[in-house]
Chains A and B, each alone.
Chain A
Amino acid sequence: MTDSTYQLPITQRLEPTTVAELAALVQQAHDQEIAVYPLGGQTAIHYGLAAKNDGWGMSTTQLNNIVDFPVKDLTITVETGITMQTLNDALAKEGLMLPLDVPQQSRATLGGVISTNTNGARRFGFGTVRDYVIGIEAVNGKGQVFHGGGRVVKNVAGYDFCKLLTGSVGTLGIITQTTVKLKPLPEESVTVVVGVEHADIAEACVAMLLESPTVPSAIELLYGNAWNELTGNFKDNLTLVVQLSGTAVETAWGQRRLIDDLKNQGAPGASVLTSETHFELWEQIQEFPAEERELTIQVKTVSSGAVPVIETCRALDPSCTIQSDAGNGVVTVGFDEIPDRGISGIVVTELGPLATTYHGHVETLRCSNPENLTLGTMWGHLAAPEWLHHRIKEQFDPRGILNPGRFVYQ
Chain B
Amino acid sequence: MDGPVDLDKGIPVALVHELQKIIGSDGVLTAQSDRMVFECDGFTIEKSCPDVVVFPTTTEQVAAVIKACNRHEIPFLPRGAGTSLAGGTLAVGGGVMLVLTRMKEIEEIDLRDRYAIVQPGVVNIRLTQALAGTGYHYAPDPSSQGACTIGGNVATNSGGPHTLKYGVTVNHVLGVEAVSSEGEIFRLGGPNADPAGLDLAGVMVGSEGTLAVVTRVWVRLTRNPEGVRTMLGVFDSVDDATNAISAIIGAGIIPAALEMVDHDIMVALEEAFQFGFPLDAEAILIIEVDGIEAGLDTQRDQIIEICKSVGAREVRQAENEQHRQQLWKARKQAFGAIGRLASSLVTQDGVVPRTQIPQMYKTIMAIGRKYDIRIVNVFHAGDGNIHPVMLFDERDPSQTQRVLQAGGEILQACLDAGGSVTGEHGIGVEKVKFMKQMFSEEDLDVMAALRKAFNPNNRLSPDKMLPTAGACGMERKAPSKMVAM
- Complex Cα distance, B443 from A188, in Å, reads 42
Within 8 A of B (CB), among A346-362: 358-361
- Complex Cα distance, B356 from A75, in Å, reads 13
B464 to chain A, nearest CB (A): 12
Neighbouring B residues of A144 by C-beta, 8 Å: 442, 445-446
Neighbouring A residues of B421 by C-beta, 8 Å: 157
**Would you call B353 an interface residue if the criterion is a C-beta within 8 Å of the partner chain's C-beta atoms?**
yes
Partner of B196, one of A154, A303, A408: A408
**Would you call A391 an interface residue if the criterion is a C-beta within 8 Å of the partner chain's C-beta atoms?**
yes
Q: Is there contact, CB below 8 Å, between B115 and A247? A: no
- Complex Cα distance, B447 from A157, in Å, reads 11
**Would you call B366 an interface residue if the criterion is a C-beta within 8 Å of the partner chain's C-beta atoms?**
no
Q: Is there contact, CB below 8 Å, between B113 and A183? A: no
- Complex Cα distance, B293 from A249, in Å, reads 10
Neighbouring B residues of A158 by C-beta, 8 Å: 427, 435, 438-439, 443, 447, 465-466
- Complex Cα distance, B186 from A152, in Å, reads 32
Q: Is there contact, CB below 8 Å, between A213 and B196? A: no
Classify chain A's interface size.
35 or more
Within 8 A of A (CB), among B214-251: 223, 226, 246, 249-250
Neighbouring B residues of A408 by C-beta, 8 Å: 196-198
Query: A214-B292, A304-B113 in contact; A150/B420 too (CB < 8 A)?
Result: yes
Q: Is there contact, CB below 8 Å, between B192 and A329? A: yes
Q: Is there contact, CB below 8 Å, between A153 and B383? A: yes
* CB nearest to A173 among chain B residues: B446
Q: Mark B298-309, 1 if CB is under 8 A from A, else 0.
A: 100000000000
B147 to chain A, nearest CB (A): 19
- Complex Cα distance, B449 from A161, in Å, reads 12
Within 8 A of B (CB), among A159-181: 159-161, 163-164, 166-168, 172
- Complex Cα distance, B250 from A74, in Å, reads 8
Total residue contacts A-B, CB cutoff 8 A: 261
A49 to chain B, nearest CB (A): 13
Query: A246-B292, A300-B194, A392-B198 in contact; A184/B254 too (CB < 8 A)?
Result: yes
Q: Is there contact, CB below 8 Å, between B198 and A73? A: no
Partner of B351, one of A96, A155, A166: A155
Q: Is there contact, CB below 8 Å, between A72 and B355? A: yes
Interface-forming stretch among A9-17, A219-227, A271-279, A377-385? A377-385
- Complex Cα distance, B200 from A208, in Å, reads 32
* CB nearest to A147 among chain B residues: B443
B440 to chain A, nearest CB (A): 7
Neighbouring B residues of A145 by C-beta, 8 Å: 442
- Complex Cα distance, B157 from A153, in Å, reads 13
Within 8 A of A (CB), among B411-443: 418-427, 431, 434-435, 438-440, 442-443
Q: Is there contact, CB below 8 Å, between A152 and B352? A: yes
Q: Is there contact, CB below 8 Å, between B384 and A154? A: yes
A249 to chain B, nearest CB (A): 5
Interface-forming stretch among A127-135, A192-200, A289-297? A127-135
Partner of A73, one of B114, B354, B385: B354
B198 to chain A, nearest CB (A): 6
Q: Is there contact, CB below 8 Å, between A389 and B206? A: no
- Complex Cα distance, B223 from A214, in Å, reads 11
Classify chain B's interface size.
35 or more
* CB nearest to A380 among chain B residues: B196
Interface-forming stretch among B97-105, B168-176, B277-285, B369-377? B168-176
- Complex Cα distance, B156 from A167, in Å, reads 23
Partner of B163, one of A96, A150, A154, A250: A154
Q: Is there contact, CB below 8 Å, between B295 and A304? A: no
Q: Is there contact, CB below 8 Å, between A155 and B423? A: yes
**Would you call B2 an interface residue if the criterion is a C-beta within 8 Å of the partner chain's C-beta atoms?**
no
Neighbouring B residues of A328 by C-beta, 8 Å: 193
Q: Is there contact, CB below 8 Å, between B223 and A210? A: yes
Neighbouring B residues of A329 by C-beta, 8 Å: 113, 192
Q: Is there contact, CB below 8 Å, between B195 and A167? A: yes
Query: A148-B443, A156-B156 in contact; A363/B196 too (CB < 8 A)?
Result: yes
**Would you call B135 an interface residue if the criterion is a C-beta within 8 Å of the partner chain's C-beta atoms?**
yes
Within 8 A of B (CB), among A137-153: 140, 144-148, 150-153
Q: Is there contact, CB below 8 Å, between A385 and B186? A: yes
Within 8 A of A (CB), among B423-480: 423-427, 431, 434-435, 438-440, 442-443, 445-447, 449-454, 456, 465-466
Neighbouring B residues of A148 by C-beta, 8 Å: 443
Neighbouring A residues of B205 by C-beta, 8 Å: 160, 163
**Would you call A394 an interface residue if the criterion is a C-beta within 8 Å of the partner chain's C-beta atoms?**
yes
* CB nearest to B250 among chain A residues: A72
Q: Is there contact, CB below 8 Å, between A152 and B419? A: yes
- Complex Cα distance, B110 from A170, in Å, reads 35
Query: A146-B443, A156-B422, A160-B203 in contact; A215/B292 too (CB < 8 A)?
Result: yes
Q: Is there contact, CB below 8 Å, between A211 and B420? A: no
Neighbouring B residues of A330 by C-beta, 8 Å: 194
**Would you call A388 an interface residue if the criterion is a C-beta within 8 Å of the partner chain's C-beta atoms?**
yes
- Complex Cα distance, B203 from A384, in Å, reads 12
- Complex Cα distance, B382 from A329, in Å, reads 32
Q: Is there contact, CB below 8 Å, between B440 and A147? A: yes
Looking at A73, A215, A358, which has the most chain B CB atoms within 10 Å of its CB?
A73
**Would you call B6 an interface residue if the criterion is a C-beta within 8 Å of the partner chain's C-beta atoms?**
no
Q: Mark B396-422, 1 if CB is under 8 A from A, else 0.
A: 000000000000000000000011111
Q: Mark A382-408, 1 if CB is under 8 A from B, else 0.
A: 111100110110111000000000011
**Would you call B167 an interface residue if the criterion is a C-beta within 8 Å of the partner chain's C-beta atoms?**
yes
- Complex Cα distance, B293 from A164, in Å, reads 38
**Would you call A70 an interface residue if the criterion is a C-beta within 8 Å of the partner chain's C-beta atoms?**
yes
Looking at B187, B226, B442, which has the most chain A CB atoms within 10 Å of its CB?
B442
Neighbouring B residues of A232 by C-beta, 8 Å: none
Q: Is there contact, CB below 8 Å, between A302 and B191? A: yes
Partner of A304, one of B112, B156, B168: B112
**Would you call B189 an interface residue if the criterion is a C-beta within 8 Å of the partner chain's C-beta atoms?**
yes
Q: Mark B307-333, 1 if CB is under 8 A from A, else 0.
A: 000000000000000000000000000
- Complex Cα distance, B190 from A382, in Å, reads 11
Partner of A253, one of B203, B294, B431: B294
* CB nearest to B423 among chain A residues: A154
A-B contact pairs, 29 of them (CB 8 A): A74-B252, A75-B353, A130-B199, A151-B418, A152-B352, A152-B419, A154-B168, A154-B380, A156-B425, A156-B427, A157-B438, A158-B443, A160-B207, A161-B450, A163-B203, A215-B223, A246-B292, A249-B295, A329-B113, A330-B194, A358-B192, A382-B196, A384-B186, A384-B189, A384-B195, A384-B197, A391-B453, A392-B450, A408-B197
Closest 8 CB pairs of A and B: A163-B202, A184-B252, A383-B195, A72-B250, A302-B113, A250-B295, A382-B197, A395-B449
Known pairs A131-B167, A153-B384, A157-B431 / 18 extra A-B pairs, C-beta < 8 Å? A151-B419, A152-B351, A152-B420, A158-B447, A160-B205, A163-B170, A166-B202, A213-B292, A249-B294, A249-B295, A250-B292, A304-B112, A359-B113, A379-B196, A383-B175, A385-B187, A391-B454, A408-B198
Which residues of chain A have a CB within 8 Å of any CB of chain B? 70-75, 95-96, 117, 127-128, 130-131, 140, 144-148, 150-161, 163-164, 166-168, 172, 183-185, 207, 210-211, 213-215, 246-247, 249-250, 253-254, 300-304, 328-330, 358-361, 363, 379-385, 388-389, 391-392, 394-396, 407-408
